[in-house]
Structure 1
Amino acid sequence: MNFIINKQNKVPIYKQIVQQIEESILSGELQPDDKLQSVREVAGSYLISALTVKKAYDQLEEKHIITTVPGKGSFVLPLKQEVVKSHQQSEIKSLLNDALELAQHYNLSSNIFEDMLKELTEEYKNAEIRKN
């Protein structure tokens, strides 16, 4: 797996690693039981501290996304459904936030924005009904 590490980014490097591994897992690029690069390999390849990479891997372990087997390495765990749903909801919320920022940029009133959301919600509900 290749990382895009931006040392100028406000997001800490360990979080950039966590986010990119999570995205790779959710996109299917990384599958359950895939072995991740070792902490030392990542640190050496990207000229970052091994402690930074370890912090990222520890955080992924705490989230039950990977497991580390001493002497063997770190491996991707099967995703729990709540992890997938949480990611999906975060992604949708981010897009809605982008829409809100655009509405504010265009000086759209909150009433009009709310009406637009209600209309989209109705369309969504109708699509669900047709699907079932």
Structure 2
Amino acid sequence: MSNTNPDPLYKQVKDQIVHAIVIGDLKEDELLPSIRAMANELNISVITIKRAYADLENEGYIVTRPGLGSFVTPINKESLRKKKLSEIRGRLKEITDEASRYYIEVSDIINILKELEEDK
């Protein structure tokens, strides 16, 4: 968690859990820490963790079973990939729109992307 990150803390928690699920650090049917335990571990509000877990459940990443806890659900990686591609497309549209206002060509942006790929 970072106070310098512009995202609210609940979103930072949610994003880190989603990342752990996607890369396989959290497996299907794995039990997540309780809301209170996660809040204590991260030293943040229970309300913040509750919001993150609620968002994760609404987006289908976890399921909460009363009395048992919250568990990772099976994810459809292809569906997740399509969703992320759509999100990236929207962000790239914003970037190309802004770039055109400054007379920056799409080819310049493509070159930047190629440079970034080479730097990996």
Q: Say whether the fold is shared (TM-score over 0.5).
A: yes
| 1:42-76 CA distance string (max 9 Å, x none) | 11111111010000000000001100011111001
Q: 1:91 to 1:50 in 2, by over 3 A?
A: same
Matched residues in 2 for 1:12 and 1:46: separation?
A: 14
Q: 1:78 aligns with which of 74, 95, 110?
A: 74
- For 2:27 and 2:85, the matched residues in 1 are separated by 18
Say what the alpha-carbon RMSD is for the aligned residues. 3.0
1:20 to 13, 16, 27: 16
Which runs of structure 1 show a deviation greater than 6 angstroms over 4 or more consecutive aligned residues?
none
Counterpart position of 2:5:
9
Cα distance, 1:85 vs structure 2: 2.3
CA apart distance, 1:88: 4.7
Distance 1:116 1:45 in 2: 41
- Tell me the TM-score normalized by structure 2: 0.71
| Structure 2 CA distance for aligned equivalents of residues 116 and 63 of structure 1 | 32
Output aligned runs, 1:86-97, within 5 Å.
Answer: 86-90=83-87
SS at match of 2:18: helix
Q: How does 1:32-47 map to 2 (within 5 A)?
A: 32-47=28-43
Q: TM-score, normalised by structure 1?
A: 0.66
SS for the counterpart of 1:56 is helix
In structure 1, stretches of 5+ residues that fail to align are 118-132
- The answer to whether the 8 A contact 1:26-1:84 is kept is no
- In the alignment, the residues of structure 1 paired with residue 49 and residue 109 of structure 2 have an alpha-carbon distance, to the nearest angstrom, of 43
Q: % of aligned pairs identical?
A: 34
Contact 1:43 1:50 in 2 (8 A): yes
| Unpaired runs of at least 5, structure 2 | 111-120
* Structure number, greater radius of gyration: 1
Q: Is the 8 A contact 1:61 1:68 kept in 2?
A: yes
